[in-house]
C-alpha cells in the first residue's frame, strides 16, 4: 500500500485524505496545531455524505481505516511517495514548512503545495532538493470536484511531474499540467477572465447580477459542465473548430480589445455586491446553499459517469 | 391564443417555433425561400426528441398543431404580438427585412432579431417605428437551452422591452435584459473573455487543448451549470461575496492586467487547432457528438428541474 503524507488537517487536507484513502492509499495526517483535529471527523463525515451521492456503495470503513490522524511531521515524511501540503496561504510559513519537509523526507518524495496562487519557485526557494517540489492546486470543493493542476518551477524535474500526475490519476483526480509557471495557474486564469468581465458588465450597468448569473447557469454553464471551450467551438460551425474560429474571430478579437480594463473592486462596489447578494440569499441560508452546491455537483458528476463523460484516467 | 411570427425557417427559426408552440403560442412561419421548408419537419423531429428527454410527456401533437408553415410575410405580420427574425447574419438583408416587417405589421407588434452580434440600432436604422425593435439573441442549441438576451437601441421603448420579456418568460425562456447596447451582448462577452484566455494559454504553451478543456468540464463548468459567478463567489469565503472579493481581488486584478492581449487567430494557429481537435474527435464522429451534447444538456436540465434549480419564471 502506497503512503501519502497530508500536511495540514483543515478542510482541504481532509478532502485530500478522503480522496487518496478512497482510492486505496494510506494517508498519514499531520498538523502543527493538534486542535485542528477536533473538527476532522465531523468535517470528514460531511464530505463523505456528498461522495455517497456519487457512489452509494462507498466503502466508508475502508476510507477511515486508511487515514491515520495526529501523525508527527517525521512520520508523514517517512515512506510517503508524496506529501500534500495544505496549510495557511502564507508564503513565509509555507517556505519554512517546505524546508522542514525537504530535510525530513527522502530525496525522491514529491512535495506538493495546494496553494491556489503562491508559485512553487517561491515556496521552494530555500529547499535543498527543489527538483521534487510542485504546485498541485485542487478545485473547490475538492472532495466532489477531484481536479488538480500540477506544475513545477524551472528547477522541478520532468520525471517528478510525470510521477505526480500518475499518482493523482491513480487516486481518480482529473489531473492537468501547467507547462510554465504563471500567476493563477490555468483554473483561476480562466475563472478570473470570466469574473472580471462579469464585474465589468455589472459595474458598467450593462446587466444585473441576477441576469449575469442566469447567462452562466442557464446557458453557457450547462455546456461547460461536460465540454471545454475547444470542444464546444468544434461543434459550433459545420466544418469544425477552424470553421468556427474563422467565422467568429473578428468578433472575439473585438471583445478582447475592449475587455482590458482592470476593475477597481472598490469598497463601495463590494458593499453594493454584498447588499444585492444578501437580498437574493440571506446570510442564514448560505450554509444550506453550500450543501446544495455540493449535492448538485455530485449529482452532475453521477450523470456524467453514467454517460461516460466523467473523468477518464488510464 | 397569442400569435408569434417566425421569419426564417432554418434551425434557429424551427427551434423558436417549437419553443413557442410548446408553450401554447400559435406560430406562423415564413421563409422567402420555400425550399427552406423541405428540411423543417426532419429538423423539428430531431429537436423534439431532445425535448422529450427533458419532458417525456411532451405533447408533440400540440406542438405540431400550433405551427403553421409556408405562411406569407403578410400573414406572419398580421395579428402577431411578436415577430422573431432568424434569417442570415447579413446586416443589409436584415435591414431590408426589418423595413418590410415594419411596414406590414401594426405599430405595437414587437420585431425581434435573433442576431448574435448585429446591433438593433443598425438593423432598425431604416425602420419607421424603431421603438418596437429589439435584439433577442438565443443561446446554442436554443431548443434545449431556452435562454434569450433582450436589448433595445436608444430608440426602443422601455415598455416594449418589458412586454418582450414577459412574452419570452411566458414561453419558458430564461430571459435577461441587456441594459445598454454593447458588442457581444452579455452571453458572448462572457464566453469571449473565457475563450480568448483559453487561446492565450494554449497558444502560449501553458497548457494543452485537452487540459484546458478538462479544467472547464471537470472543475469550473460543473459549478457554472447551476450557479453564476456572483453566486459562486458568495459561497467561496466564510462571510460571503464581499469577503471573497476582498481576499482574492488583488489576484483577480493582476490577472486582468495580464489578460489584455488580442489573440491573432492566424491561419497557421487555426490549422493547428483543427489538427489537434481532429486527432481527438474524427470529423465523422462530430455529428454523434452534437447529438450527445444535446442529450447531455437535456439531462442536466432535467436534473436541475427535479432539484428546483432550473429556469424559474413568474
Who among B179, B216, B265 is closest to A229 (CB)? B216
Cβ contact, residue pair A228, B215, below 8 Å: yes
Cβ contact, residue pair A277, B176, below 8 Å: no
Q: Are residues A174 and A205 in the same domain?
A: no
Q: How far is A150 from chain B (nearest CA, A)?
A: 11
Is the residue at B54 inside a domain? yes
Who among B224, B251, B304 is closest to A220 (CB)? B224
**CATH number of the domain that residue B15 is part of:** 3.40.50.720
Domain ends where: A178, A213, A244? A178
Who among A206, A229, A303 is closest to B194 (CB)? A229
Cβ contact, residue pair B300, A191, below 8 Å: no
Cβ contact, residue pair B187, A309, below 8 Å: no
Q: How far is B142 from chain A (nearest CA, A)?
A: 9
The pLDDT of residue B314: 56
Q: How far is A106 from chain B (nearest CA, A)?
A: 30
Domain encompassing residue B35: 3-178
Nearest CA in chain A to B257: A262
Does pLDDT of B129 surpass 80?
yes
Is the residue at A289 inside a domain? no
List, edge to edge, every strand of the sheet that includes B26-30: B67-68, B26-30, B3-7, B80-85, B110-113, B133-138, B147-152, B174-178
Gap between the Cα atoms of B143 and A287, Å rounded = 34
Cβ contact, residue pair B265, A245, below 8 Å: yes
What is the predicted ipTM? 0.98
B285 neighbors B140 (Cβ within 8 angstroms):
no
Tens of pLDDT, residues B279-297: 999 999 999 999 999 999 9
Contacts with A225 (C-beta within 8 Å, 6 or more apart), sequence order: A300, A304, B217, B221, B222, B224, B225, B296, B300
Angle (CA) B95-B100-B104 rounded to 5° is 150
Chain A CB within 8 Å of residue B145 CB: yes
Q: How far is B95 from chain A (nearest CA, A)?
A: 20
Does pLDDT of B78 surpass 60?
yes
Cβ contact, residue pair A189, B197, below 8 Å: yes
Q: Are residues A269 and A133 in the same domain?
A: no
Counted domains in chain A: 2
Measured CA to CA in angstroms, residue B262 lies from A200, A245, B71, B116, B196 at distances of 18, 14, 45, 21, 8
Cβ contact, residue pair A192, B252, below 8 Å: yes
Gap between the Cα atoms of A259 and A275, Å rounded = 26
Handedness of CA B112, B118, B120, B122 (dihedral sign): negative
Gap between the Cα atoms of A206 and A21, Å rounded = 48
The pLDDT of residue B209: 98
B219 neighbors A247 (Cβ within 8 angstroms):
no
Q: Which A positions 41-60 lie with beta carbon below 8 A of chain B?
A: none
Domain ends where: B161, B178, B195? B178
Q: Are residues B168 and B50 in the same domain?
A: yes
Helix A241-258 with B267-280: angle, nearest 10 deg = 130
**Cell digits of residue A136:** 498541485
Gap between the Cα atoms of B228 and A224, Å rounded = 12
Helix (H, G, I), strand (E, B) or coil at B105: coil
The pLDDT of residue B313: 75
Is the residue at A290 inside a domain? no
Q: Rg of the Cα trace of chain B? A: 21
Q: Are residues B67 and B195 in the same domain?
A: no
Is the residue at A301 inside a domain? no
Chain A CB within 8 Å of residue B88 CB: no
Cβ contact, residue pair B233, A195, below 8 Å: yes
Cβ contact, residue pair B183, A145, below 8 Å: no
Grid cell 486527432 in the structure block, residue: B279
Is the residue at B291 inside a domain? no
Q: Are residues B219 and B91 in the same domain?
A: no
Q: Which B positions 251-280 lie with beta carbon below 8 A of chain A?
A: 251-263, 265, 270-271, 273-274, 277-278, 280
Q: Are residues B169 and B275 in the same domain?
A: no
Q: Are residues B232 and B169 in the same domain?
A: no
Cβ contact, residue pair A174, B218, below 8 Å: yes
Rounded to a whole number, what is the distance in angstroms from the first to the last CA of chain A? 19
Cβ contact, residue pair A189, B301, below 8 Å: no
Q: Are residues B108 and B236 in the same domain?
A: no
Grid cell 411570427 in the structure block, residue: B5
Range B39-60 average pLDDT:
94
Q: Rg of the Cα trace of chain A? A: 21
Chain A CB within 8 Å of residue B292 CB: yes
User: Around B228, how many Cα atoms within 13 Å sit in the side-chain half-sphere?
Assistant: 24
Chain B CB within 8 Å of residue A305 CB: no
Query: How many Cβ atoms sit within 10 Å of the Cβ of residue B258?
Result: 15
Mutation site for B-interface testing, chosen from A89, A117, A189 by largest number of B Cβ within 10 Å: A189
Percent of chain B predicted with pLDDT > 90:
97
Gap between the Cα atoms of A22 and A172, Å rounded = 9
Nearest CA in chain B to A241: B274
Cβ contact, residue pair A183, B223, below 8 Å: no
Please list every residue in chain B whose beta carbon sits closer than 8 Å to the beta carbon of residue A289. Answer: 231, 234-235
Chain A CB within 8 Å of residue B181 CB: no
Most distant CA pair in chain B, distance: 60
Helices (H), B57-133: 60-65, 73-77, 91-104, 120-123
Is the residue at B307 inside a domain? no
| Cis peptide bond upstream of B88, omega within 30 | no
Range B92-109 average pLDDT:
98
Q: Which residues pair with A175 in a beta bridge?
A: A148
Cβ contact, residue pair B219, A307, below 8 Å: no
Q: Are residues B44 and B174 in the same domain?
A: yes
Is the residue at A295 inside a domain? no
A235 neighbors B217 (Cβ within 8 angstroms):
no
Q: Are residues A140 and A220 in the same domain?
A: no
B215 neighbors A149 (Cβ within 8 angstroms):
yes
- Per-chain mean pLDDT for chain B: 96
Q: Which A positions 189-228 lie with beta carbon below 8 A of chain B?
A: 189-198, 201-202, 204-228
Gap between the Cα atoms of A182 and A65, Å rounded = 38
Q: Give the predicted TM-score (pTM) of the model.
A: 0.97
What is the pLDDT tens value at each position of chain A, 314 positions in all?
A: 999 999 999 999 999 999 999 999 999 999 999 999 999 999 999 999 999 999 999 999 999 999 999 999 999 999 899 999 999 999 999 999 999 999 999 999 999 999 999 999 999 999 999 999 999 999 988 989 999 999 999 999 999 999 999 999 999 999 999 999 999 999 999 999 999 999 999 999 999 999 999 999 999 999 999 999 999 999 999 999 999 999 999 999 999 999 999 999 999 999 999 999 999 999 999 999 999 999 999 999 999 999 999 998 75
Is the residue at A264 inside a domain? yes
**CATH number of the domain that residue A235 is part of:** 1.10.1040.10
Cβ contact, residue pair A196, B191, below 8 Å: no
Q: Are residues A156 and A46 in the same domain?
A: yes
Does pLDDT of B45 surpass 90?
yes
Chain A CB within 8 Å of residue B184 CB: yes
Q: Are residues B66 and B88 in the same domain?
A: yes
The pLDDT of residue B312: 84
Range B78-100 average pLDDT:
97
The pLDDT of residue A314: 56
The pLDDT of residue B267: 97
Amino acid at each position: 500500500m502506497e503512503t501519502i503524507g497530508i500536511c495540514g488537517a483543515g478542510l482541504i487536507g481532509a478532502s485530500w485524505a478522503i480522496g487518496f484513502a478512497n482510492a486505496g492509499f494510506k494517508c498519514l495526517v499531520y498538523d502543527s496545531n493538534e486542535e485542528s483535529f477536533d473538527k476532522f471527523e465531523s468535517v470528514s463525515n460531511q464530505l463523505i455524505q456528498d461522495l455517497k451521492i456519487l457512489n452509494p456503495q462507498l466503502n466508508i470503513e475502508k476510507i477511515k481505516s486508511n487515514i491515520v490522524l495526529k501523525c508527527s511531521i517525521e512520520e508523514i515524511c517517512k515512506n510517503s511517495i508524496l506529501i500534500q501540503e495544505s496549510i495557511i496561504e502564507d508564503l513565509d510559513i509555507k517556505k519554512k514548512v517546505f524546508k522542514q519537509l525537504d530535510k525530513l523526507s527522502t530525496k525522491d518524495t514529491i512535495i506538493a503545495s495546494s496553494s491556489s496562487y503562491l508559485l512553487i519557485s517561491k515556496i521552494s526557494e530555500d529547499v535543498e532538493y527543489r527538483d521534487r517540489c510542485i504546485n498541485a492546486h485542487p478545485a473547490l470543493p475538492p472532495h466532489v470536484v477531484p481536479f488538480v493542476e500540477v506544475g513545477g518551477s524551472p528547477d522541478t524535474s520532468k520525471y517528478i511531474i510525470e510521477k505526480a500526475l500518475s499518482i493523482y490519476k491513480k487516486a481518480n483526480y482529473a489531473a492537468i499540467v501547467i507547462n510554465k509557471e504563471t500567476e493563477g495557474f490555468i483554473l483561476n486564469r480562466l475563472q478570473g477572465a470570466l469574473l472580471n468581465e462579469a464585474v465589468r458588465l455589472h459595474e458598467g450597468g450593462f446587466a444585473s447580477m441576477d441576469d449575469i448569473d442566469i447567462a452562466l447557469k442557464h446557458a453557457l454553464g450547462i455546456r461547460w459542465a461536460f465540454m471545454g471551450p475547444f470542444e464546444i467551438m468544434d461543434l459550433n460551425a459545420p466544418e469544425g473548430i477552424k470553421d468556427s474560429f474563422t467565422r467568429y474571430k473578428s468578433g472575439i478579437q473585438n471583445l478582447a480589445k475592449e475587455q482590458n480594463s482592470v476593475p477597481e473592486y472598490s469598497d463601495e462596489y463590494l458593499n453594493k455586491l454584498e447588499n444585492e447578494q444578501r437580498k437574493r440569499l440571506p446570510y442564514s441560508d448560505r450554509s444550506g446553499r453550500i450543501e446544495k452546491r455540493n449535492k448538485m455537483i455530485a449529482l452532475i458528476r453521477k450523470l456524467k459517469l453514467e454517460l461516460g463523460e466523467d473523468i477518464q484516467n488510464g
